Amino acid sequence: MMKIGLMGYGKAGKAVANVLANDPRYQLCWVMRRSSSHSAHLEDQPQIPVVGLAGLDMGDWLNQHPVDAIVDFSQADSVYLYGQELRRRGIMLVSAISAYSPEHLDYLRELGRDTRVMSSPNITLGINFLLLAAKLLRGIAPFADVEIVEQHFREKPEVSGTARKIAETLELQDDRVTSLRVGGIVGHHEVIFGFPHQTVRLIHDSIRREAFGTGAAFALQELAECDKGLYSFDDLLLHKIRQHLLSKA
């Protein structure tokens, strides 16, 4: 059973903790967060401690609470706190931070020389598959009309990052993206391929934040089978698919 430490205990972090703590392939050993107030353990899982970063020595902590992988849903700078220990101990990293600067990414790349690192701003399995499938169909049928429609809750301020990412991947102009803000929709993404005599729709619906946890669990499993290096979520998917496709060739 792979031992996991989780950085971050915000809304996404809590959802991920919830998923990993209930996945029989993993043992969630601890959660670390910036402030150390309130509860000192996971809700409903008193054996899993939630500790504050303040005054903590990462080396000591890992000696006493060793893990095989760190999952990071906290903040860009966290990587500097655990990076050297990760490298020295060969701990894997699955990071879902979207706010990395080029410097952060350089640092991750460097870590990738000594251990396995996956970094991706969107770690949802379904969305990443949608991206991949849309890219494939776009490659197969560049003559099809493509429209991207995303629907989210009324308050969401701007075009979803995922929709922009899809447009970018498919090399579509921004005006191919329609954003609708209606009621309390959690997250709906649809890519429509219009052919002269048929239509293909690829649709993803988010139900709740725990989807990040499913993605993290998938990434951990795939990354464990890779060589050292820095990977994106897309790389892991392609890696899996390429094996699959080539083995059938």
Q: Which residues bind a copy of itself (CB under 8 A)?
A: 19, 124-127, 129-130, 132-133, 136-137, 139-141, 144-147, 149, 151, 154, 178, 180-186, 192-211, 213-214, 218, 237-238, 240-242, 244-246, 248-249
User: How far apart (Å, rounded) are the C-alpha atoms in residues 174 and 154?
Assistant: 21
Q: For residue 227, what is the DSSP state?
A: P
152 given a catalytic annotation: yes
Q: How far is the CB of 87 from a copy of itself (least distance, A)?
A: 26
Q: How far is the CB of 141 from a copy of itself (least distance, A)?
A: 6
Q: How far is the CB of 106 from a copy of itself (least distance, A)?
A: 23
Any idea how long the chain is? 249
User: How far apart (Å, rounded) are the C-alpha atoms in residues 89 and 140?
Assistant: 44
Q: Decide whether 53 or 144 has the Cβ nearer to a copy of itself.
A: 144
User: How far apart (Å, rounded) are the C-alpha atoms in residues 219 and 39?
Assistant: 29
User: How far apart (Å, rounded) are the C-alpha atoms in residues 122 and 237?
Assistant: 13
Q: Is residue 107 within 8 Å of 235, Cβ to Cβ?
A: no
Q: How far is the CB of 12 from a copy of itself (least distance, A)?
A: 12
- Catalytic residue of the set 14, 152, 189, 204: 152
- Catalytic residue of the set 3, 41, 135, 156: 156
Q: Buried (b) or exposed (e) across 60-81, using 16+ Cβ within 10 A? A: ebbeeeebbbbbbbbebebbeb
11 given a catalytic annotation: no
Q: Decide whether 140 or 224 has the Cβ nearer to a copy of itself.
A: 140
Catalytic residues: 152, 156
